[in-house]
Amino acid sequence: MKLLHVEKIIANDTVRLVGLVQVDSLDQEIEIYFEYPQRFADFVSESADAFVPALLLPAMEKGENLEIKPLMSAKLFRNLPTIQDIFHQWYPSQLKKVLVTAESPTNYDQKSLSKVGAFFSLGVDSFYTFIKHTKTRSDLALPLSHLIYMKGIERPLRIYKHGQEKKVISRIMEVAHAASIDCIVGETNIRNHFNLQWGPYYHGAGLASVSLSLSAGLESVLIPSTDSYKDVFPWGTSPLLDHLWSTEKTNIVHDGSETQRVEKIAKFLAKDPFAMKYLRVCTNNEGGETNCGTCPKCVRSCLY
C-alpha cells in the first residue's frame, strides 16, 4: 500500500485534503479525503500525517507494507512500531505487523496555537468531555475552543442518504453556541474504502486521522474515552494508543478515563439539564438525532 500524493484543494466554499492511495490488492488507485468549510482552510495541513492512521490499520489487516511518499511527521513515524505492537498483541491473527517506510520524515517546528478541539457526537463520553472542559473548575480542564463532528466517522457516508445527520449537526451547533465556542463540521470517506471493524480496530485511528487533518490550527485534540483506566481492554481508541498518533504540532489526548461510564452519567450528565436535553446514545438510528429507547446503548444509559 502506498500513499502517493497529498493535495489541499480550496473550491466551492470548501477546503478538501485529498490523498491518492495505491492498494496492492486493487486494480486502481483510490482517493481518501477530509473536507471542511473554507473558513477552516488555514487549519488544514498539507502533509501525509492525516492519512497515516487511516492507512496503517488497513495495511496491517491486508498484510501489505505501507510506503509514505509525501512529507510526514518524524514523531508520528517513530511511534508507528509501538502502535503496531499494541494492535498485533491484541489481534495477532487479524492485524499483522508490516514494514512502514517514509521518504520524508520531518521534525516539524513546534508552534503555540492555543486552540483545543474535542470530538463531539452528543453521546455520553463526548458530553462528559464537554462538561469537564467548559463547566468544571478542574486542573485537568483545557481551554476548549472547538467541537468537531465528522460525517462519515460515526457511520460510512453511504448511510447518510436520507440526510439524517443534518438535525444532529444542528443540535451540536446549538451546544457549541451555548458554550460560546466554535464548531468544525466536516466529512471524510475513509470508511467507504476500508471495511475494518470500527470499534475494535479502526475507531481511534479514524479519529486521529481527522485530528491530524486539522493540525495547522489545533494544538490539542481530545478523543473522549470509551472506558475508565480500571476497565481498559482491546479497543480502537485507548489510553495506551491515542497519544501515540500525535505529531510535533498536534497532541492527541485520550480524555476521560479517570471516570467510569456510570459515574459520567450519574454524577455529571444526570445533574445537567442542558446535557440531558441533547444527549444522544442510540445505535439503531443510523446516525440520526433520536434515541430509540430499546437498543442496548439506550437501555444501558437509562439504567445508569
Distance CA 82, CA 84 (A): 5
pTM of structure:
0.93
* CB atoms inside a 10 Å sphere around CB 242: 26
Q: Is the pLDDT assigned to residue 213 strictly greater than 90?
A: yes
Residues 204 and 89 in one domain: no
> C-alpha grid cell for residue 300?
444501558
Question: What are the phi and psi torsion angles at 205 (to 5°)?
Answer: -65, -40
Mean pLDDT of the chain: 92
Residues 30 and 129 in one domain: no
| pLDDT given for residue 87 in this prediction | 98
Residues 255 and 124 in one domain: yes
Domain count, the chain: 2
Q: Tens digits of per-residue pLDDT, 154-184? A: 899 998 888 989 999 999 999 999 999 999 9
Q: Tens digits of per-residue pLDDT, 51-89? A: 999 999 999 999 999 999 999 999 999 999 999 999 999
| pLDDT given for residue 303 in this prediction | 44
Q: Which comes out higher in pLDDT, residue 136 or 259?
A: 259
Secondary structure of the chain in HEC code, one letter for each residue: CEEEEEEEEEECCEEEEEEEEECCCCCCCEEEEEEEEHHHHHHCCCCCCCHHHHHHHHHHHHCCCEEEEEEEEHHHHHHHHHHHHHHHHHCCCCCCCCCEEEEEEECCCCCCCCCEEEECCCCHHHHHHHHHHHCCCCCCCCCEEEEEEEECCCCCHHHHCCCCHHHHHHHHHHHHHHCCCEEEEEEECHHHHCCCCHHHHHHHHHHHHHHHHCCCCCCEEEEECCCCHHHCCCCCCCCCCHHHHCCCCCEEEEECCCCCHHHHHHHHHCCCHHHHHHCCCCCCCCCCCCCCCCCHHHHHHHHC
> C-alpha grid cell for residue 220?
490539542
Q: Is the pLDDT assigned to residue 284 strictly greater than 60?
A: no
| pLDDT given for residue 214 in this prediction | 98
Q: Is residue 280 one of the residues assigned to a domain?
A: no
Please compute the mean of the pLDDT values over residues 142-151 and round it to a whole number.
97
Q: Is the pLDDT assigned to residue 298 strictly greater than 60?
A: no
Last residue of a domain, one of 225, 241, 261: 261
Q: Is the pLDDT assigned to residue 285 strictly greater than 50?
A: yes
Dump the DSSP string for 171-209: HHHHHHHHTT-EEEEEEE-HHHH----IIIIIHHHHHHH
| pLDDT given for residue 288 in this prediction | 52
Question: Which band of pLDDT confidence, cut at 50, 70 and 90, is reported for residue 36?
Answer: very high
Residues 92 and 150 in one domain: no
Full domain range(s) for residue 205: 116-261
Question: Which band of pLDDT confidence, cut at 50, 70 and 90, is reported for residue 287?
Answer: very low
| pLDDT given for residue 138 in this prediction | 76
| pLDDT given for residue 40 in this prediction | 99
Partner residues linked to 252 by β-bridges: 221
Q: Is residue 279 one of the residues assigned to a domain?
A: no
Least confident of 26-35, 37-46, 158-167, 295-304: 295-304
